[in-house]
Structure 1
């Protein structure tokens, strides 16, 4: 794991170093999702957040039903409407 020290600035702002933004493909103005888990802060792009939720939901099955797959199908149906 790569750790980079950053400081909490005025108004709770955290600056993500340019090399990290470039490596992640994020730009100024992009929306990030903040997630708290086990006392940790996790920042993700929207795409990463969706993938994270899908991975978490894939752990939940009821019999042969995979809830993450059902949710994806439901969302696709809503998008097509």
Structure 2
């Protein structure tokens, strides 16, 4: 999507154009993640941020491995040793 000019209003608020909100999948009342990345303001929906985090983790966790199951098994082994 092409960049658009928006105005900062009282209180530091900015209005995200409707087409951009639709593209991001955000609606009134949603919570978004906002950060500054290399001098640019970045706005992400929470589901999109989770999707990206999961994609990063998939690079390091083999298919079919459940991290929660691994952690529980490890804790049980530690408990048995005590």
TM-score range for the pair, normalised by the shorter chain length: 0.5 to 0.7
Structure 2: stretches of 5+ with no match in the other structure: 73-82
Q: Specify the alignment match of 1:43 in structure 2.
A: 43
Structure 1: stretches of 5+ with no match in the other structure: 60-65
Q: What count of residue pairs does the alignment treat as equivalent?
A: 67
Maintained 8 Å contact 2:25/2:45: no
**Cα distance in 1 for residues equivalent to 2:42 and 2:30:** 16
Question: RMSD over aligned Cα, in angstroms?
Answer: 2.8
Secondary structure at the counterpart of residue 28 of structure 2: coil
Deviation larger for 26-35 or 15-24: 15-24
Q: Specify the alignment match of 1:73 in structure 2.
A: 67
Secondary structure at the counterpart of residue 35 of structure 1: strand
Q: Which runs of 4+ in 1 moved over 6 A?
A: none
